[in-house]
Amino acid sequence: MRSNVSGAVLSLVIERPSAGASVCRRFEARYGGLLGSGRQHIYDALTRLVKDGMLERVPRELLAELDDDDARGGAIGDGYRATAVGARAYRRWLGNGDAVLRPDSLIGSRQEALIRLVSTLPQDRATALALLDGYEYVILRLTQSTPLESGNVMDELLADELTDLAQAELRWIARTRDKLSAA
């Protein structure tokens, strides 16, 4: 997958085949705080995914049967649905979380984990739990590599901040696991 935007767009179309306008609205609602992409970037991702064989265009009439709001309006062209190639690419992208969760960056790893977590289909709790496991591993590695007191107050302040962030993230992971287990 070339970008997280492409992965996110693919996940939305896998979740529900849709017209481009619907994909844009759902993208903004789900990823607005994580991926700052405008509509043109989303449409570019749709075009690229079609070109790469991960999505295919479908007639508007089929989208109307699928209960897509934009298709019923009649003002759109064709829509999109995932191909088998796209479904496999989506699974690889989700499962590739370990490769992008960076053990040297809590913030970068958090964003990667969240993007993939919200891209996981609601019924796929096993993948969501595996993503949480990977993220937890990164946090634990970071806390182990936090420098010990060096006598420099600035180093100590930084170490305190990283420890506080890690503890908050571990609490969030525990709550998220509980919610996934209860659902």
Provide the β-strand partners of residue 55.
82
Torsion angle defined by CA atoms of residues 138, 9, 176 and 168, in that order, rounded to the nearest 10 degrees: 50
For the chain, the first-to-last Cα distance in angstroms comes to 30
Per-residue pLDDT of the chain (183 residues; tens, 9 = 90+): 678 899 999 999 999 999 999 999 999 999 988 888 889 999 999 999 999 999 999 987 776 555 555 545 555 567 999 999 999 999 988 887 555 556 556 666 788 888 999 999 888 999 899 888 888 888 888 777 766 667 788 888 888 888 888 899 999 999 999 999 887
Q: How far apart are CA 92 and CA 98, in angstroms?
A: 11
Domains and CATH numbers, the chain: 4-91 (1.10.10.10), 97-182 (no CATH)
pTM, to two decimals? 0.80
Residue 66 amino acid letter: L
